[in-house]
Amino acid sequence: MTAMQKFFWFIASFGNIFALYLVFQDVSVSTLILLILTASYSSIGYFDMYHSKHSLNRLYPVVAHIRYFLESYRVEIQQYFIANDIEEQPFSREQRSLVYQRAKNVRDTIAFGTQRDLLEDNYLSLWQSLHPKVVTDDAKRVRFGGPGCLKPYDASYLNISAMSFGSLSASAIEALNLGALKAGCYQNTGEGGASPYHLKHRGDLVWQIGSGLFGCRDNKGNFNPESYRAMATKAQIKMIEIKLSQGAKPGHGGVLPAAKITDEIAAIRHIDKHKDCVSPAVNPECTTPKDLLNFVVKLRTLSGGKPVGFKLCIGNPVEFLSLCKAMIETGITPDFITVDGAEGGTGAAPVEFTNRLGMMCLEGVYFVHNALIGVGLREKIKIIASGKTASSFDLLAKIAMGADSVNAARTMMMSLGCIQSRHCNTNMCPTGIATQDPVRNKAINVVEKSERVKHFHRNTIKNFYELVGSIGLDNPAKLMPQMLKRRTPYGLLMSVGSLIEPLKHNDLVDEVSIDGPWSAWWHMANSEHFYSEDTYILSPAEFTRAKHASQSINQTKAGESPPLS
């Protein structure tokens, strides 16, 4: 018998008898409460020991419930009582506070200096100029629309990333859209399609089409040009995005848990209400690079010439280069490519996919930026980046690495009041944002929350322009990867991305001056199919050079001569 079982038998026998005895002696509130307590304890304990399915309950009657209770509030307890300002994941208290302050439009400065360890490995920073500038007004929008586009769109540097109605509540979608309208940015609909809540306030939309083709499919699940055209030609739809993959679950289709599927969502998506809605991992219209590009043309034509692009998380680099080869061979280019980082968020995903797959945003953006330069197509295609954008520096880092604009999802949810409780996949969101429960949904005041979205956007953008100015630039488009510095384990600040050689215009096509990974990847790339074996072993010469350089600095400081390389 465990100590708790012995204790149970002690209370169940002597405790109850003693409580009964006291009640017979003196019937008062306190003796009655004591009797109720011992009797409840005994019944719960008896049930635990002889009927519970959990061995923990059987061995530790009654107290095991305390453990389950505390476990269900583990995230909150850790968040409120244990974690410090910078250690919480995915967003630290410091990052969240910044978003909340900017969303509420209250003081967002800190006192007494940084709390960060500036010598930490991989710490990112910038080198400022002695001649700061002011970003000019004409440099504050980004034009989307390549050669085949008839209706270009001028977007903000920061926009609302894809999150579907279904994953988010109707009020959250509305508040984001009204916020986008007030802030002058766009909202991406997410793969669930453009719902009435996206359309109600007339904020700019990017319509996302996922592998489930929600919003533009027929009864059999095939692409339906007529329903696509009807939506895509609406004035509110500014661009169309084909979703190939998403950083939090690349290689896996979208997941909407059955708990969150209402009659309305089932009707909008044409799906079964009682089963998890799992979209296929591969978009049926885009199984080869050339199919994807032909689909881009089809969507662009049917939309009347609006910018069309696709979203993906970079995995095997060869496959992206296969796509580049297909662009060269067909002459078809998307208007934009959205690069989502492995650190990205989701409403629901298998844990291994979230933790172990895909390139991080900065690495993916740097790779795509250079690949497009290498094939001479960079001017025709815009790059959008997404992955944990909480501060203006996060925004700037992505632009510096090669993005033209940035999408944010979770911090936009935080501007609505999300407290990072991470129950988005349960329909039990405590703030009414990621739930379809009508009672919780009502907790969101659409107009008030849209103001928060507006303020978060405005304040982040304002600080972004100031940061760009502080490094001596008057236009964010002039940011370059080498301006972003990363502290290495060798005590030296290196340009982020310097481990993979930056390419020059047409380097890949001309095949003259490239070697190392780029050359190997390029030769393996095949425009006829995506899948390619990942056979290249990365052993960058730059890495060795950087190591030597830092040794040289340390030894020179110590009065020794630098080693010969």
**At what angle are helices 63-72 and 29-51 packed, to 10 degrees?**
80
Cβ atoms within 10 Å of 188's Cβ, excluding its own: 28
Looking at residue 293, its amino acid is L
C-beta closer to ligand SF4: residue 395 or 418: 418
Instruction: Figure out which of the listed residues 195, 386, 420, 450 binds ligand FMN, where binding follows CB under 6 A.
Output: 386
By CB under 6 A, residue 292 contacts ligand FMN? no
Residue 527 contacts ligand FMN per CB under 6 A: no
Tokens of 470: 């502080």
What CA–CA distances, in Å, run from 312 to 183, 338, 354, 408? 26, 6, 14, 15
d(CA 349, CA 16): 49
- Where does this chain touch ligand FMN (CB under 6 A) — which range of 115-123, 163-171, 271-279, 484-492? 163-171
Which residue pairs, CB below 8 angstroms and at least 24 apart, start in 42-51?
42/8, 42/11, 42/12, 42/15, 42/16, 45/8, 45/11, 45/12, 46/12, 49/5, 49/8
| Residue 283, binding choice from ligand FMN, ligand SF4, none, Cβ under 5 to 8 Å by partner class | none
Task: Find the part of the chain contacting ligand SF4 (CB under 6 A) among 117-125, 183-191, 418-426, 540-548.
Answer: 418-426
Give which of ligand FMN, ligand SF4, none residue 431 binds (C-beta under 5 to 8 Å, depending on kind).
ligand SF4
User: With binding defined as CB under 6 A, does residue 424 bind ligand FMN?
Assistant: yes
Q: Does 243 bind ligand FMN (CB under 6 A)?
A: yes
Q: Does 429 bind ligand SF4 (CB under 6 A)?
A: yes
Q: How many residues does the chain have?
A: 565
Q: Considering the rule CB under 6 A, would residue 103 count as an interface residue with ligand SF4?
A: no
Task: List the end-to-end C-alpha distance of the chain, in Å, as a whole number.
Answer: 71
211 vs 435, which CB is nearer to ligand SF4?
435
Per CB under 6 A, the segment of 132-140, 190-198, 296-304, 413-421 that binds ligand SF4 is 413-421
**Selected range binding ligand SF4 among 242-250, 320-328, 423-431, 514-522, rule: CB under 6 A:** 423-431
| Amino acid at site 168 | L
347 binds, among ligand FMN, ligand SF4, none (CB under 5 to 8 A by kind): ligand FMN
3-class state of residue 64 by DSSP: helix
Match 């009672």 to its residue by tokens: 439
State the binding partner of 418 from ligand FMN, ligand SF4, none, CB within 5 to 8 A by kind. Answer: ligand SF4
Q: Give the span between the Cα atoms of 290 and 323, in whole angstroms.
A: 8
281 binds, among ligand FMN, ligand SF4, none (CB under 5 to 8 A by kind): none
409 binds ligand FMN (CB under 6 A): yes
Cβ nearer to ligand FMN, comparing 254 with 502: 254
Planar angle of CA 123, 367, 481, nearest 5 degrees:
50
Interaction of residue 431 with ligand SF4, rule CB under 6 A:
yes
